[in-house]
Chains A and B, each alone.
Chain A
Amino acid sequence: MNWIPTTVDELLRRALVSEMTVVGRRGQPVTHPVLPLWDGQRIYVTSSVLFSRKMEHIKRDPRVSIAITDPEACGGMTARCTVQGDARIFEEDPHETWERVVPLWREKEPAIDLFLGKRFALPLFFERSLIEITPRRAFWWDDGRPEAPPQSAMAPGA
């Protein structure tokens, strides 16, 4: 996905937390902190059935955005970005479908293997849906100053 600016690509690769906004039942914004996974094409977020309200919202309206704004969560990188996109949910088998992104998850949170090994202790946490976000528009602040207008880029054909 070569239209994604380098800064945004780097932030998505590094971020340990992002703020994902979905559209709520009344059309209001609802924001959740999530771990964003990035394969260079699409953003992936997994969500336990324990915290599945966001999936209910996405099923009604798949339009979402993700903001990455915390330098502590990005290895000291001070740039910031917001990515808007369209979400799809994969949950054919909530026990296993999401496991295809475990390699991406492991890169950011190596301790996940430890938790997976103790899956029996918190089984519902590992019944998960996989949210795949196709970016359509990105805004970014190279210097991280929110008072400045961001740069922006749009997916071809969006």
Chain B
Amino acid sequence: MDIDRTLFEKLAAYDHVVVSWVDDDGYPMQTPAHFTADPGACTVRLAPTGIPLPADREVNLIASHIRARPGTGYDQRRYLTLWGTLVRDGDAAVLRPRRAWGWDEREVPFFEYSERNNEQARRYLAELSKERGEPVKPRLSRFWTVFVATRLPFLTATFVPILLGVAVAAYHGAFSWWLAIVTLVGGAAIHIGLNTANDVFDSLSGADEANVNPTQFSGGSRVIQRGLVSLRQMSAISAGAYAVGIGVGLYLVVDRASVELLAIGIAGMLVSVFYTAPPLRLVHRGLGEIATAVGFGPIMVLGAYVVQTKELSWEAFAASVPVAIFIALILYVNEIPDRAGDAAVGKRTLPVRLPQDAVVRGFGLAALSAFVFVVAAAATGLLPRPTLLVLLAAPMALSVYRGIREHYGDPYALMPSMGRNVALHLVTGLLLFAGYIVAISADKALDSPPGILS
């Protein structure tokens, strides 16, 4: 096999190598050795060693490096390893390697390196199971398994629009704690159903398997790929969550006797199921952002509003617009590191379809439009003016934009921006909610609140 010359250039950066071979007694033998690498000739010349090097058998050279970090451990891990047979050249020995392997965590981050070895882990555990005659599976505590499998932290995407819808209703004089809590439970159940269904369909299509750059924000929960939850179990969780969500939805429809709520509920279910499920597979067609925006924006906000008031409202719809934009931007940014895996299985998301510049610009324009919309809506009286509090999140949006622009091609360097982007949706939603609380409080406390508070 031809070995890339760059490997020899990389090898030259190491101080020494360790030469290993299997000795006559069957034990491996090792000695450190000084060396010079010749990228032109694709050879490694080993200086004479105190332990004679064998020329009659295969040897393995390894050069490795870490940087010691007292108090924590070490970092900067990298190594190169080569196999071949030595040829004597005077006192020295020369290796023209036949095979080589290596890892440098600057080039392949540890998380990716680990993901690339999921198959080896599964194979080893299967062998262990065969040896034992009983299944040997990886484990996590029940709490963490549920936490990871359902992607529980992402439920903020449901809580924000529901709280906002309830706040708009309260501003209009309708509020029930019981109905608010039931709505949150139903919304959370549908969201968990969606998250787990997404993992099921992405596992079936191979999208999650093809993605070796998962982060805590993208690439699915990975519980199926890591053998923590089976496809069948995940499907059962998804069906169970949807059953709870549908049950709660039907209870609310009957309790509130609202046709509008039934229509919103059916629309929400369809968007949720066909987000990844065939035949529509909205996310595969570059419609994931729109589906997410509709589902976690108007449907959730209007749904929560109708539960409280039994009526539709343009104001509730307007309040849902910035929330819809920022939730769509979560998906949009999270798809950036997934784009290679998604493209490999024909999942044509926007970051797969669009060039880098367009994706980055798209984020900037969408975020800007959300803030402009709130200003315009507050100026025209469609939203109460305290909702302008949302502008406090503008620097955060700018920071996410810069992060995406600078780290577009590096999934792990992008992670902090992805985290800030998730927080951006939460913060903007909570600021809108806070705006409504200020407006409600002003209405209650003052006979005639000033314009800035209403």
Contacts and interface: CB of A to CB of B under 8 A. Distances in A.
Nearest to B144: A120
A121 B34 CA distance: 40
Dominant SS among interface residues on chain A = mixed
What is the size category of the interface that chain A forms with chain B?
Answer: 35 or more
Contacts of B227: 124
A110 B72 contact: yes
- The number of chain B residues touching the other chain, given as a range, is 35 or more
B369 interface: no
Interface of A: 16-17, 19, 21-23, 27-31, 33, 48-53, 55-56, 61, 63-67, 69-70, 72-73, 75, 80, 82, 84, 91, 94-95, 108-112, 119-125, 127, 136-137, 139, 141, 144-150
B55 to A, nearest CB: 15
Contacts of A94: 125, 128, 136, 138
Nearest to A125: B114
B285 interface: no
A86 to B, nearest CB: 9
A9 B18 CA distance: 20
Given A33-B64, A52-B121, A69-B32, A139 B138 contact: no
B83 A49 contact: no
Interface string B19-34: 0111000111111111
A110 B68 CA distance: 12
Given A28-B60, A33-B66, A72-B68, 4 more contacts: A51-B117, A75-B68, A95-B139, A150-B50
B232 interface: no
Contact of A146 (B34, B59, B138, B148): B34
A27 B50 CA distance: 24
A80 B21 CA distance: 18
A28 B117 CA distance: 22
19 contacts: A16-B74, A19-B20, A29-B28, A29-B58, A31-B18, A31-B62, A31-B81, A48-B114, A51-B120, A64-B27, A67-B31, A70-B65, A94-B128, A110-B71, A119-B140, A120-B144, A123-B138, A146-B49, A147-B48
A149 B125 contact: no
B408 interface: no
A120 B117 CA distance: 17
